[in-house]
Structure 1
Amino acid sequence: MKRFNTARFLEHKAGVAGAAILAVAALVAVVAPLLIPADALDVTRVTDAPWQAPGAGHWLGTDHTGRSIALLMVQGAGTSLFVGLTAAVLSVAIGMLVGIVSGHFGGLLAGALLRITDFFLVLPALVLAIVLSTVLPRGLGTIVLAIGLTSWPSTARVVRAQTLTIEARPFVERARALGGGHGHVIAWHVMPSVVPLVLVNATLAVASAIVAESTLAFLGLGDPTRISWGALLHQAQLHGAVPQRAWWFLLPPGAAIVVVVLAFTLVGRALEAVVTPER
């Protein structure tokens, strides 16, 4: 198994470019909202005219209430990235647990876990997320839960396959012959081989989670108290940005989603090339 090597990662120019984009996005999401005045996005205090085209006063124009699209984009970056990261962590954690347990222990437990995994694989993840978001109380936690609970099966399959491969190696058999228990085998032999693949899968899972959050928010199933890029697209559609020909209300959030998802994908592919075993 190839260990992660920074020098090898830097050889992948697309991955480095993706990492740079993500660093800028993270900086904007964390630091920029602290610099926004408290009343800048308050619809009761905004004095600018609605539907202003991009110009010197507002680089990305204004929305239907007169709020700056640029400030809304900055505010929404934190929500979109937070949901993407937390939902991906939840998804990968469930998938890793199911994959290791089913691959290591086998028997009836593995059979039951595989049937559950197959059930989630057959049903469309987005449809399940929409159902959960509709049934459960509206909020950011519900979105994270809905995405995380419906997108783990692919990780479980990858982790299970890697677990079975590692446990078939002679050194694992020797460890068991010397008295190594389940905890020893999993912690010292399975986990070191599984974690690099999980890291790659997690990077790609964040991209999928951001798209899922944007889709749910666009459908009006997001947190109504939070601004996100998907919520901006929902507001643009709801308040007639197309009839108003306000392309500046539609293009920036859509472009931000595409760019950030592409950046996570590029980083994930670069990590995959670094940690994938040699053929």
Structure 2
Amino acid sequence: MTAPSPRALAWRRRGAAFAGGWREFARHRSGLVGLAILLVIVVLALLAPVITDQDGLDVIKATGGPMESPSGEYPLGTDRLGRSVLLLTLWSARVSLSVGLVATLLSVAIGTIIGILAAHFGRWVSATLMRVTDFFLVLPSLVLAIALSTVLARGMGTIILAIGLTSWPAAARVVRAQTLTVEARPYIERSKALGGGHLHVITKHVLPAVMPLVFVNTTLAVGSAIVAESTLSFLGLGDPDPMRPSWGSMLRSAWLDSAALVGAWWYLLPPGIAIGIVVLAFTMCGRALETVLNPRLREG
């Protein structure tokens, strides 16, 4: 019988590790509930063009009356322009989730690169990068994001840049601490002694060791990014295109139309509840993953 190749053995070990991680994750009911909620919301957001008509977002083609209460035709009522609140909520999920995920990936990527470089090279490189990180930590990220969104042209790309470029310092400090721990292990010294360069050590040893932490940090940071996007949109700094609404812009419209004063609860509550549910679901998944990937938490 032919012995399996090293690549096959590596993939077999990865499959076994993934299966073990999934079994550990499945032990956390909160993580499973959060994952199920996220799957349902993502599927609804992806299927929005299939199960709904985007033309209903056009104020010219809206067929409902202003702020109609929930009915059979409009389960969540309508807004001031006669558009279905349910339709707005579904399509807003696409924008809010997309901005939250992409902005989080950008911020985590920046933080990971800076954290690894600061820990690996040390000395003046670490001092310089950490002083830059401390500068961004001292300044409120939301204020910086508002400033960037005000200077640049309004749109989804601007919000993603504003959130991604201002929320990376926390990830950088966490990754730097983990990288210092990994760099102190004996196999790193052996790799350097055998002629491994900086790129080899970082890509082959350090990065794989810190990726679980990065993945958990990404999961936990998506909720904060969605809240930041909603805040910027509520302040009027979001995408001005009415065909690309977000949960934050829905809240802004409800506030401008005095939905709370006239008792139009169906106009105000759906986007707020959607934001709360999604943030809670990401937090539950992130905490469960943190327990799975951190042996000390798992033992506790």
Q: TM-score, normalised by structure 2?
A: 0.90
Native 8 Å contact 1:79 1:228 kept in 2: yes
Q: CA deviation at 1:2?
A: 11
Q: Which secondary structure does the structure 1 equivalent of 2:64 belong to?
A: coil
Pairwise CA distance, 1:109: 1.3
Residues 18 and 262 of structure 1 are in contact (CA less than 8 Å); yes or no, is this contact kept in structure 2?
yes
Per the TM alignment, residue 41 of structure 1 is displaced from its structure 2 partner at its CA by 1.9
Query: Structure 1 stretch 26-35 or stretch 251-260: which is displaced more?
Result: 26-35
Q: Indicate the residue corresponding to 2:58 in structure 1.
A: 42
Partner of 2:34: 18
- Stretches of structure 1 that go unaligned for 5 or more consecutive residues are none
Aligned partner of 1:258 among 276, 279, 285: 276
Q: Secondary structure at the match of 1:278?
A: helix
Matched with 2:96 is: 80
Question: What residue is the counterpart of 2:123 in the other structure?
Answer: 107
2:217 paired with 1:206: no
Q: CA deviation at 1:3?
A: 9.9
CA distance in 2, matches of 1:109, 1:35: 53
Distance 2:225 2:172 in 1: 16
**Following TM superposition, by how much is the alpha carbon of 1:36 offset from its aligned partner in structure 2, in angstroms?**
2.0
SS at match of 1:242: helix
From 219, 239, 242, give the equivalent of 2:260. 242
What amino acid is the match of 1:29?
A
Shift, 1:48, TM fit: 1.6
Summarize deviations over 1:138-192 as a string: whole Å, max 9, x none. 1110000000000000100010001100111111111111111112211222111
> Gaps (5+ residues) in structure 2?
1-16
* Cross-structure match for 2:178: 162
Instruction: Give the ranges of 4+ consecutive aligned residues of structure 1 lying more than 6 Å apart after TM superposition.
Output: 1-4
In structure 2, the partner of 1:176 is 192
Q: Report the alpha carbon displacement of residue 243 of structure 1 after superposing the two structures with TM.
A: 2.1
Which residue matches 1:230? 248
Aligned to 1:90: 106
Q: Percent identity?
A: 59
Q: Which residue of 1 aligns with 2:77?
A: 61
Instruction: Tell me the residue number matched to 1:28.
Output: 44
- 2:272 paired with 1:272: no
Distance in 2 separating the partners of 1:240 and 1:278: 50
Answer whether contact 1:4 1:196 (CA < 8 A) is retained.
no
Q: How many residues align?
A: 279
Report if the CA contact (8 A) 1:18-1:266 is conserved: yes
Moved more, 40-49 or 161-170: 40-49
- Cα drift, residue 37 of structure 1: 2.0
Distance 2:49 2:98 in 1: 14
- Structure 2 CA distance for aligned equivalents of residues 239 and 202 of structure 1: 36
| CA distance in structure 2 between the aligned counterparts of 1:124 and 1:4, rounded to whole angstroms | 40
Distance in 1, matches of 2:28 and 2:84, equals: 37
**Which region of structure 1 is more displaced relative to structure 2, 26-35 or 12-21?**
26-35
| 1:70 has 2:86 as partner | yes
> C-alpha separation between the residues in 2 aligned to 1:250 and 1:100?
44
**TM-score, normalised via structure 1 length:** 0.97
Identify the structure with bigger relative contact order (alpha carbons < 8 Å, sequence gap 6+): 1
Deviation at residue 99 of structure 1 after TM alignment: 0.3
Residues 146-161 of structure 1: pairs in structure 2 closer than 5 A: 146-161=162-177
Post-superposition CA distance 1:176-229 (Å, at most 9, x none):
111111122112221111000000000011111000000000111101112000
What is the alpha-carbon distance in structure 1 between the residues aligned to residue 248 and residue 164 of structure 2? 18
Amino acid at match of 1:227: P
Query: Structure 1 residue 277: deviation in Å?
Result: 3.5
Aligned residues of 1:52 and 1:63 also touching (Cα < 8 A): yes
Conserved? CA contact 1:216–1:222, under 8 Å = yes
